[in-house]
Amino acid sequence: MEAYRSQIILGSVALYMLMCIGVGLWAMRRTKDAHDFFMAGRSLGIFVTSVAVFSSTMSGFGFVGGPGLVYQMGMSSIWMVVCTAIGFALSFHLIATRIRLFAELRDSISLPDAVGSRYRSRSVSFWAAVAILLGVIGYLAAQIRAMATVLKNLLDDILGGYVSETGVPLEVCVAVSCAVLVFYCVTGGIIAGVYTDVVQGVMMVVAAILVCWAAMSAVDGGFRGMSETLVQDDPATISPWGTMGILGSLSWYFVFALGGAGQPHVVTKMMMTKKVSDIRLMLPLSIIGYSFTALLWISIGLAMRALVLQGHHPDLVHADSAAPQFLQSYTNPLLAGLVFAGLLAAIMSTADSFLNIGAAAVVHDIPRAVRGESLGNELFWARTATVLIAVFASLFSLYAGERMVALLGAFGWGTFAAALVPTVAIGFNWKRATPLAANVAIITSLVVNFGVKFFQVQLPWGFDVGALSLLLSLVLFVSISLLSRTPKLDDDIEAVMEL
Amino acid sequence: MSAERWLLFWLLLMCLVIGVALTTPEPAGGHGVPHDGHAAMLKGSPTPPPDRILLLGWLFGLTQIGFFVTCMSLGISHSIRQGRGSLWFLFGVGTLAYAGSLTMMSIANRTAIRSEHFSFLGWFPAATSWMLFGMWSAPLLFVLAYLVGFDRWIIPPESLARFEELVAANQSSSSASEQSADPD
């Protein structure tokens, strides 16, 4: 079986991609209008929505970047996953019910739609859509590049020698992986997105549990053995603050715990449940699913660091190769195939959500904010916008240069958190929050996050810039609202906020 | 004091703590240095963190917990008048468990750094076990509150009934306006 490792892995990935295409074809028959395309007809059950919520939250970053960060800096990055329980608890207490009520009350089909209704303001809706669109392009470009890189590594193993000295061109890998993604997103919209999320989420959980077992078996003494090796080399690495220190670690905790309530691709899924009461069970299910997938993040990073320190594995040149090298060296080929497919699943489950909310911003939110109505024949334009956004993000990922991709990629989590946590998470629960405060919070988030990344500002003690920008936008939002006169709300919106 | 003013209180306190921390001079390599034997690894700072930074970090963690709990209280149904006692009890126990885990982790970590003795609690050093099993799981009490109290504290049946009325009223007014716009 070892002799066919590359073929088994590639076969698993091909099977997975065929499954995505099948789901897209199935979902196409259920997608009849823009409401289905963006909101899945608000008909999703508890299990489907829960898996879609956690699998969209765990992106390719968690499956590749996460283990790499643990390998590089020890426990510091684990604060991004230790916040799972409080992060989901915050999101559900603050948003899940409220956004679902708004969605049904006003028949909203996107987050900026609901924001516009809540604040009775087109400008807030416009800025929310702009922040989402910018974040989507950056995040999507980073996901597409990651997806193509994984595919290139797999294809090079088998075809590299036959193609050219540099292996299969990255452009070909971008085209192949994007074609599958775009196919099911265009044909089936968010219905295809959430049902592929279910398969992807289950694959991610199974893969993470098996990999955690493999990691414990690869190092003598399991986790205890890894810990002892790390303590002997550098105790700071396995201490709670890792190499980053207390302030850097806790700043990540702040951004990732609270920031979940501002991720549009996740919040939008909460608008799609069939019944409001379904939300109750979604909270524990999402936490359980995400916690299991996080096992991969922790176990591979610690195991690879211990194996390299013990001299059982050659030194890594790049920390991000910790996960691929572990899978190549310490897992059964069938498990490696499942995990590589799970890795693509993690990337695609996030990317399809971004494509969908990006299309909603272009076709529905921005036109409505600017001219008071969305485009005619919304379903056709939504499909067209999905293709155009994917093409633009692909070209951007290939030709904009790594710095530009990283720059806009950094717009992702931190910018969404700083822009949308005050506006949505706090504002949807607080009648006194004003449109001015919401606009200031969103614009502050864009300016601070982009500015700091562009000028490469670094804060002392490893303090995360995203945490500072979130704190700043929260302070401005609450202060401006408290200093302003109580805004006038529409009667139905006010009534829902009093429930 | 209203929940929103508590939010502002926690935010300003957090700004103060972070402001003091960020103006405290950081020694070279204060947040990690390259590993001398392995290219892609970092090591902890060669200088142990001063007590002032450890204290400020602990305070930063406490203010976060205060802020998070206040945020979650915003999501409690505004219409409930009775039965809040058991909710606040669960929230109180959850907050104590959460802040207690942070404190135990901080104490265990400081003791280990100063004594250079890393006692184990299960698979990991004691402080790390507090992080992984305490900080991760303590907030599950808020999840429990959500799960058992959904019908009482998050969206009671009478609120859902009121919501259905609002939706019905909106639908009838929108169909009426469509009919008036279309004389045929």
Q: How far apart are CA A147 and CA A348, in angstroms?
A: 8
Q: pLDDT tens, position by position, for chain A (499 residues)?
A: 666 778 888 888 888 888 888 888 888 888 888 888 888 878 889 999 999 888 888 877 777 778 888 999 999 989 999 998 999 999 999 999 999 999 999 888 899 999 999 999 999 999 999 999 988 888 888 888 878 877 887 788 777 666 677 778 888 888 888 888 888 888 888 888 888 888 888 888 998 999 999 999 999 999 999 999 999 999 999 999 999 999 999 999 999 999 999 989 889 989 889 989 999 999 999 999 999 999 988 999 999 999 999 999 999 888 888 888 898 889 888 888 888 887 787 788 788 888 889 999 999 999 999 988 878 788 889 899 999 999 998 888 888 766 655 555 556 778 889 999 999 999 999 999 999 999 999 999 989 888 887 787 888 999 988 899 999 999 999 999 999 998 989 889 999 988 8
Decide if pLDDT at B123 tops 50.
Answer: yes
What are the tens digits of pLDDT across the range A398-445? Answer: 887 666 555 555 567 788 899 999 999 999 999 999 999 999 999 999
Residue indicated by tokens 């508890």: A46
Residues of B in contact with A90 (CB under 8 A): 68, 71-72
Q: How far apart are CA A69 and CA A73, in angstroms?
A: 6
Q: What pLDDT, on a 0 to 100 scale, did the predictor assign at position A156? A: 81
DSSP of A292-358, one letter per residue?
A: HHHHHHHHHHHHHHHHHHTTSSPPPSSGGGHHHHHHHHHS-HHHHHHHHHHHHHHHHHHHHHHHHHH
Residue indicated by tokens 């504002």: A427
Residues of A in contact with B169 (CB under 8 A): 492
Residue indicated by tokens 């329980």: A85
Residues of A in contact with B147 (CB under 8 A): 280-281, 283-284
B31 touches chain A (CB under 8 A): yes
The two tokens of residue A21 are 């295409």
Nearest to A433 by CA among B3, B67, B36: B3
∠ Cα B169 B152 A492 (to 5°): 20
Decide if pLDDT at B80 tops 90.
Answer: no
The two tokens of residue A143 are 């996901």
B117 touches chain A (CB under 8 A): no
B-facing residues of A in 242-271 (CB < 8 A) are 242-248, 250, 253-254, 257-258
What are the tens digits of pLDDT across the range B45-79? Answer: 888 889 999 999 999 999 999 999 999 999 887 76
- Beta carbons of A461 and B118 less than 8 Å apart: no
Q: What pLDDT, on a 0 to 100 scale, did the predictor assign at position B173? A: 80
- The distance of A13 to chain B (nearest Cα, Å) reads 29
CA-CA-CA-CA torsion sign (A364, A366, A367, A370): positive
What percent of the residues of chain B are helix, what percent strand, and what percent coil, each to the nearest 5?
A: 70, 5, 25
- Beta carbons of A93 and B136 less than 8 Å apart: no
- At A432, which helix (H) or strand (E)? none
The two tokens of residue A48 are 């489907």
Phi, psi dihedrals of residue A59, rounded to the nearest 5°: -95, -175
- Beta carbons of A245 and B11 less than 8 Å apart: no
The two tokens of residue A468 are 């500072």
Q: What pLDDT, on a 0 to 100 scale, did the predictor assign at position A63? A: 75
- What HEC string does A224-288 produce? HHHHHHHHHHCHHHHCCCCCCCHHHHHHHHHHHHHHHHHCHHHHHHHHCECCHHHHHHHHHHHHH
Closest residue, chain A, to B11 (C-alpha): A475
Domains in chain A, CATH or no CATH each = 2-389 (1.20.1730.10)
Within chain A, how many helices (H) and strands (E) appear? 25, 0
Q: How far apart are CA A443 and CA A250, in angstroms?
A: 25
Query: For residues A35 and A191, is the Cβ–Cβ distance under 8 A?
Result: no
- Beta carbons of A243 and B170 less than 8 Å apart: no
Residues of A in contact with B170 (CB under 8 A): 105-106, 492
In sequence order, the 6+-apart residues with CB closer than 8 A to the CB of A480 are A434, A436, A437, A440
- A-interface mutation test, from B128, B132, B144, most A Cβ less than 10 A away: B128
- Beta carbons of A71 and B26 less than 8 Å apart: no
SS3 A44: strand
Query: For residues A139 and A361, is the Cβ–Cβ distance under 8 A?
Result: no
Burial of A373 (0-12, 13-18, 19+ CB in 10 A): exposed
Q: How far apart are CA A244 and CA B30, in angstroms?
A: 8
Q: What pLDDT, on a 0 to 100 scale, did the predictor assign at position B2? A: 83
- The distance of A472 to chain B (nearest Cα, Å) reads 9
Report the DSSP beta bridge partners of residue B125.
B120
- Closest CB to A430: pick one of B58, B74, B109: B74
Q: What pLDDT, on a 0 to 100 scale, did the predictor assign at position A160? A: 62
Q: What pLDDT, on a 0 to 100 scale, did the predictor assign at position B184? A: 43
B-facing residues of A in 283-312 (CB < 8 A) are 283-284, 287, 291, 305, 308-309
Please compute the mean of the pLDDT values over residues B106-132 and round it to a whole number. 90
Residue A454: count of CB within 10 angstroms of its CB:
11
Residues of A in contact with B98 (CB under 8 A): 86
Radius of gyration of chain B (CA): 25
In sequence order, the 6+-apart residues with CB closer than 8 A to the CB of A497 are A98, A428, A429, A431, A489, B78
B68-77 b/e (C-beta count within 10 Å ≥ 16 → b) = bbbbbbbbbb
Please compute the mean of the pLDDT values over residues B107-135 and round it to a whole number. 90
- Closest CB to A463: pick one of B22, B42, B146: B22
Report the DSSP beta bridge partners of residue B33.
B43
B-facing residues of A in 311-370 (CB < 8 A) are 315-319
- Beta carbons of B26 and A460 less than 8 Å apart: yes
Residues of A in contact with B43 (CB under 8 A): 234, 236-237, 243
Q: How far apart are CA A271 and CA A194, in angstroms?
A: 13
Residues of B in contact with A92 (CB under 8 A): 75, 146
- Beta carbons of A223 and B120 less than 8 Å apart: no
The residue type of A482 is L
B13 touches chain A (CB under 8 A): no
Nearest to A1 by CA among A236, A302, A334: A334
Residues of A in contact with B24 (CB under 8 A): 460-461
Euclidean distance between the first and final Cα of chain A, in Å? Answer: 60
Report the DSSP beta bridge partners of residue A44.
A273
Asked casually if ipTM beats, i.e. exceeds, 0.90, the reply is yes
B166 touches chain A (CB under 8 A): yes
- Beta carbons of B109 and A239 less than 8 Å apart: yes
- Beta carbons of A499 and B169 less than 8 Å apart: no
DSSP of A19-33, one letter per residue?
A: HHHHHHHHHHTT--S
Q: How far apart are CA B131 and CA B110, in angstroms?
A: 14
B45 touches chain A (CB under 8 A): yes
B-facing residues of A in 69-88 (CB < 8 A) are 71-75, 78, 82, 84-86, 88
- Beta carbons of A243 and B124 less than 8 Å apart: no
Burial of B36 (0-12, 13-18, 19+ CB in 10 A): exposed
Residues of chain B with pLDDT > 70, as a percent, come to 93
- Beta carbons of A499 and B137 less than 8 Å apart: no
Q: How far apart are CA A329 and CA A307, in angstroms?
A: 11
Q: How far apart are CA A126 and CA A40, in angstroms?
A: 23
Q: What pLDDT, on a 0 to 100 scale, did the predictor assign at position B183? A: 46
B74 touches chain A (CB under 8 A): yes
